[in-house]
Structure 1
């Protein structure tokens, strides 16, 4: 029985590549006289050792197969995830269904996976660039003076790298760029306005701008702060300068009017007014129309105030002179037209008021001007009758001369100038003959008036 089993086992072994070795082993055992039991044990051990070797090989093969399955599955999963994250449906050139051995399938997907990884890296760089710019511009708009330009701090969502998402970021970036440009233009507009207003007011614009924020000064050399708070400060600064400009202009308007009134009051010649023409020229201008360099400086205001004060002091001393000048003009008009002249006590009372400062000089001169105007109108209305009165008086003068001439016994004697007297006497007789008619006309005019 044992021999049969050994023969069967030997026959099976002989069919293998180890059969020859087993046959040689049996020959050695026969020669040695190896016990059958020991032979069975050795053969059993050989079978176990062979099984262990096969089992290890099978296990190793299973592990390799499982690893290939896992690699293939991971590659498939990664490829699918990359497709989804990149927002693509498929990769051109890669078959939809895989076939062949595991290694063939793995070799087939590896190039496609490598291509998708490259695309992912490129897309990631695009996202980093766009998101980095978004963060930088957002920081500038928020007023962060220092920002790390490195894009390593940018966190990219690797689960959504689609072109749609990239477009959304690019749209947001464009919006922020437009907002930044708008803010920069607004800042530049504010700065230009501050320069113009400061120039008009005689102020140092660079100090004002630096006080708002140092980055707004061009000499700073870094990006301008364009945050909401800075825009608010710039706006308030511009409004403050505009108010200051309006205040200064109103002061100069008041001073210009005062200068003009004083000049007109005292008859100041043009050459003496010219030095303050820069003040009086502002009287017809609004705040928006004044833009000249140094037009509204404190120095100009102080000079104008000093001139007004000086003219005020001169006004009192010259007021009497002006008053007497206009009073003399009024007296001459009244005297020439035979009108009533203001009484002496009234004039003395006015002089006392001038000395005490209890009367407004402008009102006084205006009152005198009105009286002179009324007197001139009255004189103009009396002009015709005054000419008649003068002719009537001249006629009476000629009548008296004619009477004296007629009483002269030597009027016909030959002497120097006698012929002139004769001609005058002839004219005088003609004039005297008209006296009754002139007298009646004068009496009629006075009766009517």
Structure 2
């Protein structure tokens, strides 16, 4: 199928999806996308095929796309002027052949792991036939777009797991890189300390293709045998709060990796739970968010999601001593992680310890806040110590993810490893 026909088919699918739910896609520009795809089709006839040609791109609403307002899923910015230029990362993807088709929904200002949005609707996972289970957040719309075949890749942001969590809940693959691997200017930050741009795709091969295009001066694509690769599993940390389905599939994944020749070593590491608590105790995220939101909270507080605005406002109370003490502790955590993981290729945990909650489960605030905190308990480790991390589907057609966290700046190596793990997970079906 030509690129232009591929884009046309997705345009039809987006229109149908919007009629059904209206929550995953905020804006689209398929006429322009088809023209661009047609131009790439023409150039391909002359042997000019950029590395990302043939891939459509959905962009989370916290990235600048020329001609679209960067609303970050909020009414606070509903009257913002359209962006005058693409964010550099968006521009790079376009120059490499990807065609932007849609702007996707998200948790307001990316402050939440469950994907709820009272302003523009809450995306739900395509893996739930009842349409009641959430897609996860904050890159909720991007994950739904990829899982539903509405886009080939989705650009998102990841503060504590915001790319990997919805990938897990929607049965697709999510990649959070090391900080600085991809340009982040033109992205509306929640937390400059922790935020990184990341990608969601159907499989690791596509993520590798994107990474190779953006960072071409590293090793070319090649297979990594699993035999002899070493994974560390901290069992209590990994399976605390896990439900039966996640536990079953996690153990099955370990068995498959061992069958493929990998060494999976189970070793307790209770200090991992401290990484997230340190960030919370120091108020790092809310202090940094408040710095940006201060003026809006003075005159537009009523426009915020009631579960977002008041929490950001708490950032005003964070003391400088608490903030910097937490930053120092996390620096030590990075050192401790690097030392502990020096003999291992990756840390292995579930992505989220439970199946996606239903919309009705999250109606009351106590349940929402408890579930929200537990949802990113495992994924946030990578953000707190600035390591690359990948979520893979742990089971066919199940909203359960397997999370691999590697070494800082070892992004390409982790993606190669993840591709081999992806293959191993499909050795035999679960009985």
Same topology, TM > 0.5? no
* Structure with a larger share of its residues in strand: 2
Using CA pairs below 8 Å that are at least 6 residues apart, which structure has the higher relative contact order?
2
TM category, shorter: under 0.3
With the length of structure 1 as denominator, give the TM-score of the two structures.
0.16
* Structure with a larger share of its residues in helix: 1
With the length of structure 2 as denominator, give the TM-score of the two structures.
0.17
